[in-house]
Amino acid sequence: MSTYKMFFAGSGGQGVLLMGQIITYAAMLEGKEATFLPSYGPEMRGGTANCTVVVSDKPVSSPLIYEADIAVVMNRPSMDKFEPMVKKGGFMFYNESIIDRKPARDDIKSVAVDLAARCAALGNDKVANMVMLGEVVRGTGVVQVETVFKVFEKVFSGRKAALIPLNKQAFLGE
C-alpha cells in the first residue's frame, strides 16, 4: 500500500459519513496516516452528503483530493458527479438498487451492489452502509476486517452496542 484516496457520496441519512469515519478510524488503529473531510448540505437527512478519506503509509499533506482511487456512490447524483473523478484503474462501488445506470467508463473497476436485496435478506434496511462498507474493505484491502470490527466497538457504544452483531453480519455480507 502507499496511498488510497477515497470519495464516499450519497444522500444525508444513508450513512455516507459514517462509512468514511470508520475507514479513517480503522486506518489510524492500524498505524496508518489518515484524513477525513466531511461535506453535507444544510438539510442533512435527504440532502447531499459526501466525504473524502485519504489513507496512507506516509504523512498526508492535504485532505483535499481531485481524483479518487476508490469512489463509493449511494445515489444517481453522486455517480454523475464522482464517476469522472475516479482515476483510471480505480474502483467505483455503487448502489445498483437505486442507481438506474451502470458507470459509463470502461477504464475503472465497477462493483454493483444490490443494497435493497441484501438489506431485505438481513431484515433491516438501515444497514445498507455497512453492506457497502464491507464490499469496499473486502474488495480493496484499504484496512483489515478485524480492525473495522474494533472500530465498531467504539462507534456503537452504550445503547448502540446492541447493533454490533447486525452491523457485523451486514459488513460480512452474510
Which domain, by its residues, includes 165?
3-172
43-70 pLDDT, tens digit each = 555 567 899 999 999 999 888 899 999 9
d(Cα 174, Cα 109) in Å, to the nearest integer? Answer: 23
State the pLDDT confidence band at 31, using cuts at 50, 70 and 90: very high
Share of the chain above pLDDT 90, in %: 84
69-120 pLDDT, tens digit each = 999 999 999 999 999 999 999 999 999 999 999 999 999 999 999 999 999 9
The partner residues of 8 in beta bridges, in order of sequence, read 51, 72
d(Cα 26, Cα 174) in Å, to the nearest integer? Answer: 21
Q: Tell me, what CATH number does 81's domain have? A: 3.40.920.10
Task: Cell 462501488: give the residue.
Answer: 93
pTM exceeds 0.85: yes
Contacts of 150 (CB under 8 A, 6+ apart): 26, 29
The reported pLDDT for the residue numbered 41 is 64
d(Cα 162, Cα 156) in Å, to the nearest integer? Answer: 8
The reported pLDDT for the residue numbered 62 is 87
The reported pLDDT for the residue numbered 13 is 82
CB environment 2-24: b (16+ within 10 A), e (fewer): eebbbbbbbbbebbbbbbbbbbb
In the chain, the number of structural domains is 1
171's grid cell: 459488513
